[in-house]
Amino acid sequence: MLNSPIIAAIAWAVILIGAGGLLTDIGSWYRDLKKPNWQPPEWLFGPAWTIILGLAAWAAILSWDQAYSESEQAMVISVYAANFLFHLLWSPLFFKYKRPDWALVEVVFLWLSVVAMLYVTWSLAPLAGLLILPYILWVSFAAALNAKIVQLNRPFA
């Protein structure tokens, strides 16, 4: 039977995956940007995010199960809530507002939120921390890609 933490973790991942897809408009503006030759193909981003956020949801469940105090539970909720916000902000900044430069500033906060998730999950359940590693690696790669796109295409207005 599903309990509240499992439902919350699944909802967290599903909302981020769905919103990411809806907020990512791969239109002519994006296609016309200069991009580095090491950028992955467009089709890879959806499956990568689905796997990464699924693993992060699993990490939330494992961490919650090992959080024996209300303060530990509050930490899990806090880092996942902060990450939800920063994860949700990146796509509209980059795609809707066509501001990769603003998205580059925002990705620092996204990256820090994933580091906080890694710290909290690892401290409660090391396996959960391991499940966050693909997220920190992918956001690090995405930040480097974002930076290169800004470098190749600036200024943005």
- 49: domain range? 4-153
- Mean pLDDT estimate for the chain: 95
Give me the pLDDT at residue 24, please: 86
Give me the pLDDT at residue 52, please: 98
Higher pLDDT, 26 or 17: 17
From 68, 71, 59, select the one nearest 119 (Cα to Cα).
59
Q: How many domains does one find in the chain? A: 1
pTM: 0.93
Provide the token pair at 83: 């990450």
CA distance 44 to 138: 12
The residue type of 123 is: S
Task: Go through 130-147 and write b for each residue having 16 or more CB atoms within 10 A of its CB, e for each that does not.
Answer: ebbebbbebbeebbebbe
CATH of the domain at 148: 1.20.1260.100
CA distance 67 to 153: 46
Give me the pLDDT at residue 23, please: 84
Residue 134 has pLDDT above 60, yes or no: yes
- pLDDT confidence tier of residue 88, bands split at 50, 70 and 90: very high
Q: Looking at residues 94-111, what average pLDDT do you find?
A: 96
Q: Looking at residues 85-93, what average pLDDT do you find?
A: 96
Give me the pLDDT at residue 2, please: 59
Residue 117 has pLDDT above 80, yes or no: yes
Give me the pLDDT at residue 115, please: 98
Residue 106 has pLDDT above 80, yes or no: yes
Q: Looking at residues 47-74, what average pLDDT do you find?
A: 96
